[in-house]
Amino acid sequence: MAIIAPSLLAADFLHLGKACDMLNESEAAWFHLDVMDGSFVPNISFGLPIIEQIRKATTKICDVHLMIVQPEKYIEAFKKAGADILTVHYEACPNLLETLSQIKAQGMKAGVAINPDTDVQVLNDIITEIDVVCVMSVFPGFGGQKFIEHTYEKVAALKNSIQLKGAHTLIEIDGGVTEQNAHALILAGADVLVAGTTVFKAPDPLKSIAQLRSF
């Protein structure tokens, strides 16, 4: 059974309380929260005050995905806002190992996201230090984009490296996940599926979450 992480980015921002209520009732285990700074990615989403409110309203694990430059500056702030998992981008961290250990020192799980054009091999030597690898299956910045097919090969290679090192790292897929590609992603080795559009634009979001989880 997959871990499903619906992405708040696709929710109705006028009714975030409703999104939390729906999610609390659902079979999703995580809530994926996309923070964008207009610098690392060409879009701006939401930040600390929204996450603080979501934390109060959700019973789920808050999975915060930072698409920001210099994420190391905000580790404590996101912990205080309520993050359980804090994911930084490989491409934004000149001293990734140090950043990961700072995240863990704050009592959070540490995630590393990699862009579609970043090779998974770059994480080989540090894989045992990473709790979650977030494989971007679209270029980060916007919801509702088309899934990049090359992702399957990356997931398989990553799974291989995780198993070779005896690591317990989870593989999360972020971008363009649908009820059509979810099964193949799980077969390729994915553990966690982020889904924004598929869940929040569905006629029945609870059913869509249950369907994604069943693979």
Catalogue the active-site residues: 34, 174
- The C-alpha atoms of residue 187 and residue 214 are separated, in whole angstroms, by 12
Count of helix runs (H) and strand runs (E) in the chain: 8, 8
Is residue 61 exposed (0-12), middle (13-18) or buried (19+ Cβ within 10 Å)? middle
- The C-alpha atoms of residue 205 and residue 42 are separated, in whole angstroms, by 28
What strand order describes the sheet that includes 61-67?
3-6, 192-195, 170-174, 132-136, 109-114, 85-89, 61-67, 30-36
Shortest reach from residue 34's CB to Zn ion, in Å: 4
- The C-alpha atoms of residue 105 and residue 129 are separated, in whole angstroms, by 12
Shortest reach from residue 126's CB to ligand DX5, in Å: 22
Shortest reach from residue 23's CB to ligand DX5, in Å: 14
Q: Which residue's CB atom is positioned nearest to ligand DX5?
A: 196
Residue 55 interacting partner from Zn ion, ligand DX5, none (CB closer than 5 to 8 Å by kind): none
- The C-alpha atoms of residue 167 and residue 131 are separated, in whole angstroms, by 9
Point out which residues bind ligand DX5 (CB under 6 A). 7, 9-10, 32, 34, 65, 138, 140-145, 174-177, 194-198
| 148 vs 165, beta carbon nearer Zn ion | 148
Residues 6+ apart with CB under 8 A from 209: 4, 6, 26, 27, 28, 195, 199
> Is 65 an interacting residue with respect to Zn ion (CB under 5 A)?
yes
> Is 37 an interacting residue with respect to Zn ion (CB under 5 A)?
no
Shortest reach from residue 89's CB to Zn ion, in Å: 10
Site string for Zn ion, 167-186 (x = CB under 5 A): -------x------------
Give me the residues paired with residue 36 across strands.
67
Residue 99 interacting partner from ligand DX5, Zn ion, none (CB closer than 5 to 8 Å by kind): none
Site string for Zn ion, 85-114 (x = CB under 5 A): ------------------------------
Residue 71 interacting partner from Zn ion, ligand DX5, none (CB closer than 5 to 8 Å by kind): none
